[in-house]
Amino acid sequence: MEQIWAPWRMQYIEGPKASGCILCQKPREDNDEANLILYRGEKNFIILNSFPYNPGHLMVASYRHLGLLEELTGDELGEHLDMVKRCVRLLNKTLKPNGFNIGINIGKIAGAGIDDHIHTHIVPRWQGDSNFMPVLSNTKVIPEALAATYKKLKEALG
């Protein structure tokens, strides 16, 4: 039997669970690296997903606590989409994926883990990144630690 090691996951399993909205709390703190915030805009920010589907799984979120896309102002939405584009360029440059899944889950029934704060997922995809693990054992292997991915992406941002 093969074993797969992902020791960095223990800090999430054993660590304290945040109360309130993490997409509101994290940008208020002055610790972007620990909070995985890669970039701050005027109305939105880019954050590395703490529970990624794939390495480099980013999210763009507004600073304002809004649950619906139509609640964003034109300026907020414009910057939001510009940041999604920036994420795609950044990931293409650094991780060189073969494609992307980009999406917004609105509401718990649609799969939103944080259903009351609008955010867009940018998930890089590679040929063969879906293998037997998710199919047979409902397990996803992330081959790079979050801190290493953060550092790589932050350096590429300049």
CA distance 50 to 139: 16
Closest listed residue to residue 46, CA positions, set 82, 73, 92: 82
Secondary structure class of 66 (helix, strand, coil): coil
Please answer whether residues 79 and 42 qualify as being in contact, where contact means their C-beta atoms are separated by less than 8 angstroms: yes
How many CB atoms are closer than 10 A to CB 44?
27
Single-letter residue type at 132: F
Catalytic residue among 57, 65, 80, 119: 119
Tell me, yes or no, if 119 is annotated catalytic: yes
What positions carry a catalytic annotation?
119
